[in-house]
Chains A and B, each alone.
Chain A
Amino acid sequence: MKEYSLDISVTPPKEYESYFVPVPKEFLEDAYRSDDFVVFTGPQHGGSGHMRLIIRVKGDFIVEVIPDPGYVHRSMEKLAENRLYIQNIPLFERPSIIDFGNYNLGYVRAIEDALDIEVPERARYIRTILAELGRIGTHLYDAGILAVFLGHTTGFMWPFALREYIVEIFTRITGTRITGSFVVPGGVRRDVDEKTLDMIKRMLNALEFRIKKFERVFIRNPTTIARLKGVGTLTKEEAVDYGVVGPFLRACGVEYDVRVVEPYEAYDEIDWDVVIGEDGDGYTRFLVRVEEVGQSINMIRQLVDNLPEGDVLSDSIISFNRKDIRGSFFEAYADIVLPEGEYTTLTEAARGTLLYSVISDGESTVPYRVRIVTPGWMYLKGFMEACKGHRLADLQAIYGSFGYFPPEADR
């Protein structure tokens, strides 16, 4: 197609000077001169989550996408410097609200690593059950958001109804629906009784019954496949170069899972598979997560069947009742001081690798610095690169297939 250039001086509209535009002015002028369109998909938009995306569009094809994250930045790392070690547990589970098992685990394992606390068997199994339930909940939530971005309203309502099953189990175990703050250094806060364990097994059967229906309506729906197949492809080398993590890296063919590389809690005592895909497009990323839900259900069944008897609180913690921290919470945790040094843990959260790093100066009851890097922040670059060359309507599909969650990435 031949392109003709007209010698007319084009300037960006005057409104861009009064708006706060987080891109340099040369970018806008360059775009207008070369006949591209700059679209702001801002925080208040049906299809962008809470994040601003500045899209440069040529006709219907995206040239590049510049993200403007930080709309929901809450400065968690700075807030953590003024709170006791135990008071940071409810703070650091807020980025990903259903996946609180993994977010608690990362932080608490760093403290246990510093204080050399050994966790009893039963507590490790209970923590793994919480982590896997959180993984299922997050994958269901992401499937719902993907369906909303594709316009499939039933595919949005059904996973959120299924998430209600997971949340009901959380209520029976921890007492609250989400953000349980249940994992503490040395174990968990309460014990789980037989009635709840039986209910977990029945809930898993009910979940599988309804996920089969969901599969027929949304996952194998030809419109979904048409929207996601071949869209936002990342090759293996590109994915590793851009630092993509989690199931999105595994969908490109890389076999990396923190639960296999550095096992923690009870992951090396049960039998499970790492799920990888080969194509690296949007549909494979979605299918990998669907299969992980099946794997998690399998894992929870094994954990509930083989749950060992014993205490749920370690002997290194001051507690008067080894099965319930109620009444001795203050004596156990209010004054802990970590020895000097830096303690780092890696955890496999639902959306990828989660890194915690606690630096202590050896004498205060508040940490000197806590560093948390969430998976959303790590794969943001890969997400932006995957959009290049696709149509404007594919941006939403790629967003949904990556499961980007701004509160998690912005912390």
Chain B
Amino acid sequence: MVKVVKSPKDGLIRSAAGHLRAITEVAKVVVSPGTITVHYPRERRKYPENFRGMIMFDMDECISCFRCAHICPANAIQMYPDAEGRYFPGIDYAKCIFCHFCVDSCPTAALKQSKIHDVAYRDVDSMNVSPEQMNTIPEIVREDSVTVEYDFEKDIQLVRKKEFENLLVEVEKPERPEFKAVPQYGENCIGCRLCMFSCPVNAIKSKLEETKVILETDYERCTGCGICVRICPTEVLILTPIEREGDHQ
């Protein structure tokens, strides 16, 4: 259907009425204002649980799968090695666009969101945050004692509560089955052993039987990160989900 808008016609009475309406409307607001200001930093605006703030990292859950570094649209994630040779992500907040693709890609919920959004750094170099620093809340000075939340009930309401908000968020692990790397197409293997060298937990072993190299995965150690699958030039390994009863191929 089509709706046609028409401009009002000219006229002295019409414009005088328009003036009066504007003046009375402003006079009404002067008497009873509808202020929607949040007096930051003495009050803090309360955001929902899925707010995309700074990204928190739990080192115990990480399986060094490099998925977050691959998917980041801004190339903001750098992987830092630790003493044992495992790699953990650190985020460069000068480049991060807070799209949380990395949080969505992480298979074990090692990267999670938080509600922190107002951190200031002294110089650009310190914005390169290392994995240890991502474990805890950064040092922020909090002067707030009241949280404000917007709610709507015929007109906007600012719900003020005297509380000190906890900026960390509890998340559950995503629903996905466990994966293990299985050398499915062993006949394609060319023996380059890139999979062995790239495995962060040393779960792949190779045996030389006459002229053929046979790969074997230690299923207890394999975390299903998929680096060997991605690095193999001839697509020997695939990630297979294990059944819940523990029956795996």
B202 within 8 Å of A (CB atoms) = no
> Given A164-B36, A175-B113, A278-B4, does the pair A330, B67 have CB atoms closer than 8 Å?
yes
> Given A274-B3, A284-B5, does the pair A328, B174 have CB atoms closer than 8 Å?
yes
Shortest distance in angstroms between A316's beta carbon and chain B's nearest beta carbon? 18
Chain B residues with Cβ below 8 Å from A161 are 36
Shortest distance in angstroms between A215's beta carbon and chain B's nearest beta carbon? 9
Within 8 A of B (CB), among A266-292: 272-279, 281, 283-284, 287-288, 290-291
- A320–B179 Cα distance when bound, in Å, is 12
Q: Chain B 62-93 against A: per-residue CB contact (8 Å), 1 yes, 0 no?
A: 00000100111110000000000000000000
Q: Are A327 and B109 in contact (CB under 8 A)?
A: yes
Q: Are A205 and B2 in contact (CB under 8 A)?
A: no
Shortest distance in angstroms between B222's beta carbon and chain A's nearest beta carbon? 17
Q: Chain B 1-12 against A: per-residue CB contact (8 Å), 1 yes, 0 no?
A: 111111110100
Select from chain A the residue with minimum beta-carbon distance to B49: A175
Q: Are A216 and B25 in contact (CB under 8 A)?
A: yes
Q: Are B21 and A327 in contact (CB under 8 A)?
A: no
B246 within 8 Å of A (CB atoms) = no
Q: Are A205 and B5 in contact (CB under 8 A)?
A: no
Partner of B150, one of A86, A168, A275: A168
Q: Are B7 and A283 in contact (CB under 8 A)?
A: yes
Shortest distance in angstroms between A322's beta carbon and chain B's nearest beta carbon? 10
- A161–B34 Cα distance when bound, in Å, is 10
Select from chain B the residue with minimum beta-carbon distance to A255: B2
Q: Are A175 and B7 in contact (CB under 8 A)?
A: no
Q: Are B3 and A329 in contact (CB under 8 A)?
A: no
Partner of B73, one of A90, A226, A273, A330: A90
A147 within 8 Å of B (CB atoms) = no
Q: Are A206 and B154 in contact (CB under 8 A)?
A: yes
Q: Are A327 and B107 in contact (CB under 8 A)?
A: yes
Q: Are A210 and B34 in contact (CB under 8 A)?
A: yes
B176 within 8 Å of A (CB atoms) = yes
> Given A175-B100, A220-B21, does the pair A274, B2 have CB atoms closer than 8 Å?
yes
Chain A residues with Cβ below 8 Å from B105 are 327, 329-330, 334
- A251–B1 Cα distance when bound, in Å, is 16
Q: Are B176 and A171 in contact (CB under 8 A)?
A: no
Shortest distance in angstroms between B100's beta carbon and chain A's nearest beta carbon? 7
- A299–B50 Cα distance when bound, in Å, is 26
Shortest distance in angstroms between B203's beta carbon and chain A's nearest beta carbon? 20
> Given A217-B26, A274-B2, A274-B3, does the pair A326, B150 have CB atoms closer than 8 Å?
no
Q: Are A334 and B103 in contact (CB under 8 A)?
A: no
Chain B residues with Cβ below 8 Å from A203 are 152
Number of interface residues of B (CB under 8 A): 54
Shortest distance in angstroms between B232's beta carbon and chain A's nearest beta carbon? 14
Chain A residues with Cβ below 8 Å from B191 are none
Shortest distance in angstroms between B173's beta carbon and chain A's nearest beta carbon? 8
> Given A274-B3, A326-B104, does the pair A176, B98 have CB atoms closer than 8 Å?
yes
Q: Are A229 and B7 in contact (CB under 8 A)?
A: yes
Chain B residues with Cβ below 8 Å from A168 are 150
- A216–B113 Cα distance when bound, in Å, is 43
Partner of B7, one of A165, A205, A279: A279
Q: Are A175 and B50 in contact (CB under 8 A)?
A: yes
- A206–B154 Cα distance when bound, in Å, is 5
Chain B residues with Cβ below 8 Å from A190 are 50
Q: Are A175 and B1 in contact (CB under 8 A)?
A: no
Chain B residues with Cβ below 8 Å from A84 are 71
Most-contacted residue by chain B among A172, A205, A213, A330 (CB, 10 A): A330
A297 within 8 Å of B (CB atoms) = no
Q: Are B18 and A220 in contact (CB under 8 A)?
A: yes
Chain B residues with Cβ below 8 Å from A154 are 26
- A295–B3 Cα distance when bound, in Å, is 10
Shortest distance in angstroms between A161's beta carbon and chain B's nearest beta carbon? 6
Chain A residues with Cβ below 8 Å from B176 are 320-321, 327-328
Q: Are B8 and A225 in contact (CB under 8 A)?
A: yes
A189 within 8 Å of B (CB atoms) = yes
Q: Are B101 and A329 in contact (CB under 8 A)?
A: yes
Q: Are B156 and A206 in contact (CB under 8 A)?
A: yes
Identify the 8 closest CB pairs spanning chains A and B, nearest first. A327-B174, A329-B104, A87-B73, A330-B105, A222-B15, A202-B152, A273-B3, A206-B152
Besides the known contacts A174-B50, A209-B154, 10 further A-B residue pairs in the complex with CB atoms under 8 A apart: A87-B72, A90-B101, A203-B152, A213-B29, A217-B22, A217-B26, A272-B1, A321-B176, A327-B173, A329-B104
Can you report 16 A-B residue pairs in the complex whose CB atoms are below 8 A from each other? A86-B101, A90-B73, A176-B51, A217-B25, A225-B8, A225-B15, A273-B3, A274-B2, A275-B2, A290-B5, A291-B5, A321-B175, A324-B174, A326-B104, A327-B109, A334-B105
